Amino acid sequence: MTNKAEERSYQPIKQVDQYYSVEFSLSGCAFVYQFKIRKASLKEICVLVREDSDLLNHLKVGDILNLKYYTTNSFRPVEYLKTEIRHISKNDKERLRGLCVVGLLILENKNSYN
């Protein structure tokens, strides 16, 4: 359960274009997973995960995770950012059959500086 003060202390990062992949390394999960980022909207990104992937057993909508992002900036190639799992949905499009779309919202602390 998230308290209201904690909920208000984060806001979405505005520039998601600066990241090209994200790494999930979760406790209790046997593997480290890295996915290419796909832009879903101005603030939300998504990754495609196989429907039978063990990773999906460790993710829930609303989870806030500290994920490792690989950037396009060679001076800051990696960043760890708080990220909310916004949705997990099956993809019915023919060419993406067997994949789930996992929507991510990168959060930042209002007091942090970019």
Residue 29 sits in a domain whose CATH number is: 2.40.10.220
Structural domain contains residue 52? yes
Q: Is the pTM of this model over 0.85?
A: no
Structural domain contains residue 5? no
The reported pLDDT for the residue numbered 40 is: 75
Q: How far apart are CA 50 and CA 55, in angstroms?
A: 9
If one counts the domains in the chain, the total is 1
Structural domain contains residue 71? yes
Structural domain contains residue 114? no
Range of the domain at 32: 10-109
Q: How far apart are CA 33 and CA 55, in angstroms?
A: 8
pLDDT for 12-63, tens place per residue?
A: 454 667 889 999 999 888 899 999 999 877 778 999 999 999 999 999 999 9
Structural domain contains residue 72? yes
CA 16 to each of CA 44, 58, 66: distance values in angstroms, whole numbers, following the listed order: 8, 24, 16
